[in-house]
Amino acid sequence: MASVIIAGVGAYAPERILTNDDLAKMVDTSDEWIRTRSGIRERHIAAPDQACSDLALIAAQRALADAKVSASEVDLLIIATATPDYPLPSTACVVQHKLGVPPHATAFDIAAACSGFVYALEIAYGQLLTGRYKCALIIGSEKLSSITDWSDRTTCVLFGDGAGAAVLKKSDQDGIGIIGSDLGADGELAEYLYTPAGGSRCPASPKTVEEKGHFLRMKGKEIFKNAVRVMETVAREMVEQHHLSLDQINLVIPHQANVRIVEALAGNLGLPMDRFYVNIDRYGNTSSASIPLALDEARKAGKIKPGDYTLLVAFGAGFTYGSTLIRW
Ligand code: ACO
């Protein structure tokens, strides 16, 4: 049986770093509050002239180089983002052109917020298995600083900018690559985390700008509880479906929203924290970029070895959620 492997991974975070102390000069907060409540020390912020596609492009070039694949070989390009360059066209089309992916490729964006990367993985995995496509490039890229209200201390301390990418290919080797993938969504809770204006429900107007309707709004406590509950469920289900025990998972890469969410998840699953890859301290929450940024770092740090099982678990606005089980 054929499998789908992750042939290469790459990531990019913009140069500028905004520390907690910098934020304490902008809003009524402190390094101590942010660190103890979220685990974040600093985050990367894109330059004013850098858009989502610019971050995505660099991460994609690095993933292609890692996979030793040229852009001309890519026939499926998916970008997961909540902060596209434009409402239309898709950021995937912008990246297709800048990267030199041939026009016969399929290119589109998906909107699944923080779960976007595992959503893109599932779509690419399924499409490669059908034989319709040969080489997929999937990217999670976010300029969350562009939808953050920098005067609201309850949200602005949490988010950062960045991008991560992976190249997926079919392999003849059985039992490696993506072993399983599962997604879910619960739109009943859509307004727990959303940007109220700028879409068709509430188009941009002087009033929406005045009301700061284009910025992220969230119910932090409710998101926290749901994130822990849902990520525990999807992690358990994925491991059970594949007749494994949690103990056999060498590394869990969770969406990086809050280190306390990861600690609660680890406690509920009965796994030690050293089984979880955490880099939220240096990036904050980068939504769809958070899992591929962490995956890239974990690989470079030698935390993933041939034969290892890695479990990706995500949760985000929508609500959306999902998990991917990978064997290297
Ligand atoms: N600095 C100082 N004080 C603050 C700040 C701040 N930056 N933000 C809030 N406070 C205050 C509040 O006003 C509140 O004061 P009050 O008690 O006088 O009203 C107090 O601190 C406690 O606030 P809580 O909201 O209860 O703090 P909590 O411990 O719940 O932590 C947090 C808040 C960090 C937002 C947490 O709930 C969280 O991380 N939730 C998940 C949010 C999330 O992940 N969102 C990302 C998007 S979705 C996703 O990625 C999964």
What is the domain-level CATH number for residue 307?
3.40.47.10
Q: Tell whether 157 and 227 lie within a shared domain.
A: no
Are residue 143 and residue 227 in the same domain, yes or no?
no
* Mean pLDDT of the 109-126 span: 98
The pLDDT assigned to 76 comes to 98
- Among the candidates 144, 174, 204, a domain finishes at 174
| Residue 289 and residue 242 in one domain | yes
What lies within 8 Å, CB to CB, of 131 at 6+ separation is 170
Instruction: Assess whether 269 and 139 both reside in one domain.
Output: no
52: Cβ below 6 Å to ligand 1?
no
- pLDDT tens-digit series, residues 197-206: 999 999 999 9
Residue 114 is a catalytic residue: yes
Q: Is the CB of residue 284 less than 8 Å from the CB of residue 40?
A: yes
pLDDT at 23: 98
Alpha-carbon radius of gyration of the chain: 19
Check whether residue 243 and residue 167 sit in a common domain.
Answer: no
Q: Are residues 293 and 255 in the same domain?
A: yes
Same domain (yes/no): 166, 188: no
Sheet containing 135-143, strands listed edge to edge, beginning at the edge strand earlier in sequence: 3-12, 161-171, 135-143, 76-80, 106-110
> Which residue, of 123, 156, 174, is where some domain finishes?
174
**Same-domain pairing of 8 and 135:** yes
Query: Span 254-267, mean pLDDT?
Result: 98
Question: Mean of the pLDDT values across residues 207-231?
Answer: 96
Average pLDDT, the chain: 97
Q: Is the CB of 36 under 6 A from ligand 1?
A: no
% of the chain at pLDDT higher than 70: 100
Q: Give mean pLDDT, residues 82-108.
A: 98
> Are 154 and 183 in the same domain?
no
- 154 and 298 belong to one structural domain: no
Kindly state whether residues 207 and 265 are assigned to the same domain. yes
Which pLDDT does position 2 carry in this prediction?
80
pLDDT at 168: 98
Q: Is the pLDDT of residue 1 over 80?
A: no
Tell me which residue range forms the domain holding 273.
178-327
Instruction: Give yes or no: residues 133 and 214 share one domain.
Output: no
Q: Is the CB of 70 under 6 A from ligand 1?
A: no
Domains: count for the chain: 2
CA torsion 177-52-71-115 (nearest 10°) is 20
Task: Please indicate whether residue 156 is annotated as part of the active site.
Answer: no
Query: Of 193, 221, 228, 230, which is best to mutate to test ligand 1, by the most ligand atoms within 8 angstroms of its C-beta?
Result: 221
- pTM for this predicted structure: 0.96
Q: Relative to the CA of 258, which ligand 1 atom is closest?
A: 39
Please tell me the distance from the alpha carbon of residue 237 to that of residue 220, in angstroms, as a whole number: 26
Q: Is the CB of 112 under 6 A from ligand 1?
A: no
Q: Say if residues 293 and 312 touch (Cβ distance below 8 Å).
A: no
Q: What is the distance in A from the centroid of ligand 1 to the CA of 323? A: 26
Give the active site residue among 20, 44, 93, 114: 114
Question: In 165-177, which positions are buried (b, 16+ CB within 10 angstroms) versus exposed (e)?
Answer: bbbbbbeeeeebb
- Residue whose Cα lies nearest atom 15 of ligand 1: it is 154
Q: Of 130, 145, 174, which residue sits at a domain end?
A: 174
